[in-house]
Amino acid sequence: MTERSVDSDLVIVGGGGAGLRAAIAAAEADPGLRIALLSKVVPMRSHTVAAEGGAAGVARADDSLAGHFTDTVAGGDWLCDQDVVERFVAACPEEMVRLEQWGCPWSRQADGRPQVRFFGGMTTQRSWYAADKTGFHLLHTLFQTTLRYPGIERYDEYYCADLLVDDGEACGVLALEIASGEPVRFSAPAVILATGGAGRAYGQNTNAGIVTGEGMAMAYAHGVPLRDMEFVQWHPTTLPGSGILITEGCRGEGGVLTNREGRRYLQDYGLGPPEPWPRPKAMELGPRDWLSQAFWREDQAGRTVPTAQGAAVQLDLRQLGEARILERLPLITDVARRFAGVDPLHAPIPVRPAVHYTMGGIPTDAEGAAPLAGLFAAGECASTGIHGANRLGSNSLAELLVFGRAAGEAAARRAREAGRRRHARAAAQLAEAAARPALAMLRNERGERVAALRDALHATMERHVGIFRNQAGLEQACADLAELRERYRRGVRLDDRSRIYNTEWLSALELGHTLQVAEAMACSARARLESRGAHRRDDAYSERDDERCLVHTLAHARGEAAPALEHAPVTITRAAPQRRAYGAAAEAAGGEGA
C-alpha cells in the first residue's frame, strides 16, 4: 500500500518559521545530515507569513534580560516555567541578529541600526519589526536561507497524516503526497513537529485555513499529553466577521481604542489613566487577555458599535499622521481599505477580538524534546512553558526562532547517535496501518459533509469555550465535542473520491484532528477551577487560585473517550507569584514585577 518511502536522518513536519529554523540549525550542526522537510503547503504559504507586529529580543541600552523575563512571567499570569523563560529571553537577541545577517529587512533607525517598537505588556521597546509584515519577512528570509543548504530536501505539499511510533520511539511519519494522493513513508530516528496551532477550532479567528492542529493531535493520539490547552488567546483587534488580524503594532505606534461613546474604555479596566500616551504596559498597551476581556464586558454593557459583521470597537490611528501610518503600517492600511472598506488615514477601523493563538500544546523541554523518544516539537504546536496562561505579543516569533533552533540542534544530535534504519521494518508496517483509515475515507458512502461538522464545532467552541467560560457551558462543550467526535467516526461523506489533489479529503482528515484538539481544550478548561490569564470564568471560579491551581494541565488521550486530566507543577525560579498590575497600579509599584 505504501510503496514509496524516504529514509532520512531527520524528518521535520511543517515549513513555517519553526520548521525552517529547525532545518537550518540541523543542517548547520551537521552538514552531512539528510533532512526531509515536509509541509502541506509550499513553505512561504505557512501561517508565520501573516504575523505582523514584531519579534521580541532585548536590544536597547535601557532594557535588560531581567525586564523581558519579568514581563513574560507576569504577562503569563505566573504559569510560565521560569527556567525556560530565562533561557528564552537570553537567546532572543542573538536570533534577531542572526536573522538580520541572513537578510531580514528589519526596520531601521536613521543611523542604520535595527529599530524596536512597543508591544503590549512589555516594559520598553523591544519588539524588532519589519514594518507590519514581520512574519512575512521572517518567513521569506528563512525560506530563502534554506536554499543554501543541500542537506535540506523539501517535500512541498505533503500532508502528514500520522506519526510512526515503534516500541516507544518516534521513527517517522506517514504522509500523503497531495499531488497524487499517494501515501509515502518517511523514516528517521528523529522527528520534529512544527505544525503550528489549532486556531481553526474556532469560527472567528485570525488564522490561515491550514492552522488545524494536526501535529498536536498526532502526538496526543500516540500517548503524548497536551499541556495547558485551556489557554487560547483572543487577539483584541481583528476585523469583525473575517477575523483578519490588525496588528498590536498599531497600538504600539500610538493607536487608541474607543467604544460607542468615544471613550477610551480601557481606563475602566485597571489599565488607566489614559494619559500620557503612548506609554508601556498601560491602556492599549496592556496584555491581550485583559483587552479581549474588556471588550467582552463593554459588549455586555451595550457600549460597542454595531456593524454588519457584529459588535466592534474603534481602533483610531489618525493621530499618528499619514507619514507614520504609511511607513510603519502599510499592510494594515491596505487590509483596512480592502477588507473593511475603511481608510485608516481618515477613519477608525472597527475591530473586535478573535481567536489568535494556542498557548498550550506538546510539552517540551528547553531543547524542544517531547516526552516520547525521538520526538521534538517547536513553535506554536509546542508548549515550552514560556507563555504560561497568556502569551505576550511578539514572543511567538521569537519563540519559533529560539526553540526552532534548539529543536533542530537537539534532533541532529539524536539523529547522529541513533543512526538510521533501526526501525525500518516496523516503520513499514506502521505506515501501512496508518494509511488505512485515511484511504478508507475515500470509499465511505455514508455520513455528513465536512462543513456541517466543522460548523457545529465552531458553534460549540465560540459559545462555550470563549473569552469568558463557566462550568455549565464547559460541561456542554465537552458533551458536544464527544458527540461530534462520534458523528465524525460514523462517517464523513466526500463528494470527491479521487486521489489527485483532493483537498476535500485533506480537510476531512484535518477536521478529525481538530476535533480531538478541541476536546482537549474544552476538557482542560472544565478542569481548571480558577481564572488565570486567558482562561477567565464568570462563575464561582472568577479569581486566580495559586493555592490549588498554580499547576499545568496535562490532557491524556483515551481513544474515543474524553481525555484523562492530571496536573503538574510549574517551575518557579526567581519570581514569586504576585498580583498582575498594569497602568497606574503597576506604575505605583515602580513598574516592578507586574
Partner 1 sequence: MAGERTITLEVQRFHPEADEAPYLQPYTIPFSEGTSVLEGLQHIKDRLDGSLTFRWSCRMAVCGSCGCMIDGEPALACRAFLRDYAPGPVRVAPLDHLPIRRDLVVDQSDFLAKLERARTYLIPADERTPADGAYRQTPEEMADYYDYAQCINCLLCYAACPQYGWDQAFTGPAVLALVQRYDLDSRDAGKDARRAVVNADTGVWGCTLVGYCSEVCPKGVDPARAINQRKPASVADYLLGWLRPSGGEGTP
Closest contact distance (angstroms) between CB of 503 and partner 1 is 6
Look-up of cell digits 503538574: 568
Closer Cβ to partner 1, 50 or 572, answer by number: 50
By CB under 8 A, residue 500 contacts partner 1: yes
Please report whether residue 406 would count as binding partner 1 according to CB under 8 A.
no
Among 4, 108, 421, 579, binds partner 1 (CB under 8 A): 108
CB 242 within 8 A of CB 308: no
Please report, as a single letter, which amino acid is at residue 308: A
Burial letters 361-377, b for 16+ CB under 10 A, else e: bbbbbbbbbbebbbbbb
Among 29, 97, 221, 565, binds partner 1 (CB under 8 A): 97
CA pair distance 500, 173, nearest whole angstrom: 21
CB of 311 to partner 1, least distance (A): 16
Q: Which of 49, 312, 372, 557 binds partner 1 (CB under 8 A)?
A: 49
Beta-strand runs (E) in 446-548: 468-469, 536-537
495 binds partner 1 (CB under 8 A): yes
47 lines the binding site for partner 1 (CB under 8 A) = yes
CB of 501 to partner 1, least distance (A): 4
Which is nearest to 173 in space by CA: 359, 376, 407? 376
Reply yes or no on whether 148 is catalytic: no
Is 76 a residue that touches partner 1 (CB under 8 A)?
no
Stretch that binds partner 1, among 239-247, 253-261, 409-417, 471-479 (CB under 8 A): 239-247
Is 331 among the residues that bind partner 1 (CB under 8 A)? yes
Counting Cβ atoms within 10 Å, is residue 31 exposed (0-12), middle (13-18) or buried (19+)?
A: exposed
Q: Are 407 and 20 in contact (CB under 8 A)?
A: no
Q: Which stretch binds partner 1 (CB under 8 A): 4-12, 70-78, 335-343, 400-408?
A: 335-343
- Omega of the bond prior to 114 within 30 degrees of 0, cis? no
Per-residue binding letters, 443-462, with partner 1 (x by CB under 8 A): ------xxx-----------
Q: Which stretch binds partner 1 (CB under 8 A): 79-87, 89-97, 217-225, 482-490?
A: 89-97
CB 162 within 8 A of CB 2: no
Report yes or no: 304 and 331 within 8 Å, Cβ to Cβ.
no
41 phi/psi in degrees, rounded to 5? -130, 160
Q: Which stretch binds partner 1 (CB under 8 A): 47-55, 194-202, 215-223, 426-434?
A: 47-55
Tell me which of 5, 7, 29, 98 binds partner 1, using CB under 8 A: 98
SS3 of 23, please?
helix
- 203 touches partner 1 (CB under 8 A): no
Q: CA end-to-end span of the chain, whole Å?
A: 57
334 binds partner 1 (CB under 8 A): yes
Question: Comparing C-alpha atoms, which of 420, 408, 505, 439 is closest to residue 184?
Answer: 439
Cβ atoms 213, 335 nearer than 8 A: no
Specify whether the CB–CB gap between 246 and 304 falls below 8 A: no
The catalytically annotated residue of 68, 117, 137, 235 is: 235
**Do the beta carbons of residue 407 and residue 365 sit within 8 Å?**
no
Cα–Cα distance measured from residue 100 to residue 154, given in angstroms and rounded to the nearest whole number? 24
Q: Is 372 left (phi over 0), alpha (psi -120 to 50) or beta?
A: beta
Q: Which is nearer to partner 1, 115 or 258 (CB)?
A: 115
Residue 251 annotated in active site: yes
Cβ neighbourhood burial of 219 (10 Å; 0-12, 13-18, 19+): buried
Among 79, 138, 210, 457, binds partner 1 (CB under 8 A): 210
90 binds partner 1 (CB under 8 A): no
The CB-of-481 to partner 1 minimum distance in angstroms stands at 21
Rounded to whole angstroms, the Cα distance separating 265 from 272 reads 9
| Cβ(156)–Cβ(179) below 8 Å | no
Residues 136-175: x/- map of binding to partner 1 (CB under 8 A)? xx--x---xx-xx-------x-------------------
For residue 55, CA distances in Å to 74, 130, 303, 556 come to: 18, 9, 33, 32
Considering only residues 274-313, where is the footprint of partner 1 by CB under 8 A? 308-309
If one asks whether residue 339 binds partner 1 (CB under 8 A), the answer comes out as: yes
Grid coordinates of 368: 524542544
Q: How far is the CB of 169 from partner 1 (least distance, A)?
A: 33
413 binds partner 1 (CB under 8 A): no
Residue 303 has which C-alpha cell?
457600549
Q: Is 31 in the site for partner 1 (CB under 8 A)?
A: no
Nearer to partner 1, 450 or 594 (CB): 450
Q: Which of 228, 134, 198, 194 is nearest to 555 (CA)?
A: 228
In sequence order, the β-bridge partners of residue 164 are 172
Question: Which of 5, 64, 242, 267: binder of partner 1 (CB under 8 A)?
Answer: 242
Least spacing, CB of residue 442 vs partner 1, in Å: 12
By the rule CB under 8 A, 114 interacts with partner 1: yes
Q: How far is the CB of 440 from partner 1 (least distance, A)?
A: 17
**Residue of the chain from 5, 7, 50, 90 that contacts partner 1 (CB under 8 A):** 50
Chain residues that interact with partner 1, rule: CB under 8 A: 41-42, 44-47, 49-50, 94, 96-98, 100-103, 105-106, 108, 110-114, 133, 136-137, 140, 144-145, 147-148, 156, 179, 208-210, 241-242, 244-245, 308-309, 331, 334-335, 338-339, 341, 449-451, 494-496, 498, 500-504
Catalytic residues: 235, 251
